[in-house]
Amino acid sequence: MRFQYCPQCATPLTTVAPAAAPDLDGVTRLRCPDPACGYIHWDNPVPVVAAIVEHEGDIILARNAAWPVPFYALITGFLERHDPSPADAVLREVKEELGLDPVGPASFVGHYAFTRQNQLILAYHVVARGSIVLNHELVDYKRIPPAKARYWPAATGLALRDWLIAQGHTPEPLPLPAL
């Protein structure tokens, strides 16, 4: 998201180079030019939780309604203010998006940068049970045995790769489509 106006006073933001403002930690940033305001847009990454959902021995990958065919990925969602913890947030997302109940607590896999979306992915493994019922955000899902899973070499795909390796598998990367 590109800010244009100060969220505190609505003045148009200006781009300030680090040489012009030593308080910007050596990075070009958006800043409110009104000295009475002083707002700086730090552009910190947004925390997102991701679930490697294991259901009946398979990994569940889903396709978001906004994504083109054939893209499938892990279940993800934003860490919300009211979530007690990222582990609780990922269990909430699995329930909301797939309608599944966790068998136990979520197990932390790792954290991954998703720089294209300015997100920090907090990835977990979740064993779940129940019948899959997709919510309005998802249009399809597929089941993949862990031994046959391949990963995409970015963000949540790296989490899947790391989890598969920890389970004793040797996953191969999916070829990236030409952009």
The whole-angstrom separation of Cα 86 and Cα 68 is 28
**What confidence score (pLDDT) does residue 82 get?**
96
**What confidence score (pLDDT) does residue 1 get?**
55
Whole-prediction pTM? 0.87
**What confidence score (pLDDT) does residue 108 get?**
98
The pLDDT tens digits for 83-128 are 999 999 999 999 999 999 999 999 999 999 999 999 999 999 999 9
- Cβ neighbors of 58 (< 8 A, separation 6 or more) are 143, 144, 145, 146
Q: Which of 175, 141, 176, 144 is CA-nearest to residue 160?
A: 144
CATH number for the region 46-166 comes to 3.90.79.10
b/e burial code for range 132-150 (CB count within 10 A of at least 16 → b)? beeeeebeebeeeebeebe
Residue 92's Cα: distance from chain center in Å? 14
**What confidence score (pLDDT) does residue 7 get?**
93
Q: Is the pLDDT of residue 140 over 70?
A: yes
Q: Looking at residue 27, what DSSP letter applies?
A: S
Domain limits, the chain: 1-43, 46-166
Q: Report the run of H or E that residue 16 belongs to, with start and end.
A: strand 14-16
The whole-angstrom separation of Cα 164 and Cα 119 is 23
Q: Residues 26-36: what's their mean pLDDT?
A: 92
Q: Residues 73-83: what's their mean pLDDT?
A: 96
Q: Is the pLDDT of residue 175 over 60?
A: yes
Share of the chain above pLDDT 70, in %: 97
**What confidence score (pLDDT) does residue 178 get?**
47
Q: Residues 38-43: what's their mean pLDDT?
A: 90
Q: Residues 51-60: what's their mean pLDDT?
A: 98
End-to-end CA, the chain: 21
**What confidence score (pLDDT) does residue 71 get?**
87
User: What does the block give as tokens for 95?
Assistant: 């329930």
Count the Cβ atoms, other than its own, within 10 Å of residue 76.
Answer: 22
